[in-house]
Amino acid sequence: MKNKKINEMSSPELEKELGELKSELFKLRFSLATNGLDNPMRIREVRREIARVKTILRKREIENQEN
């Protein structure tokens, strides 16, 4: 997911996306531990997407506190 798309999403949508990404990360880690993954780099991608979403949410939180 690109930053442009993340910036266009509303905060509730980002919260929902964050939950979905965390769930996906859990499933990927579980699958890696049990039987291996086809694409282990997907874990890295999901972690970075989580970080992007959290960064945007925090940025919006700070902007709301200033106003």
**Considering only CA atoms, which of 17, 38, 37, 46 is closest in space to residue 7?**
17
pLDDT of 66 over the 90 cut: no
**Which pair of tokens denotes residue 43?**
């874990």
Question: What is the domain partition of the chain in residue ranges?
Answer: 3-66
pLDDT of 67 over the 80 cut: no
Task: Tell me which architecture the domain covering 3-66 has in CATH.
Answer: Orthogonal Bundle (1.10)
**Considering only CA atoms, which of 46, 51, 56 is closest in space to residue 8?**
56
Q: How far apart are CA 16 and CA 14, in angstroms?
A: 5
**The whole model's pTM is what?**
0.90
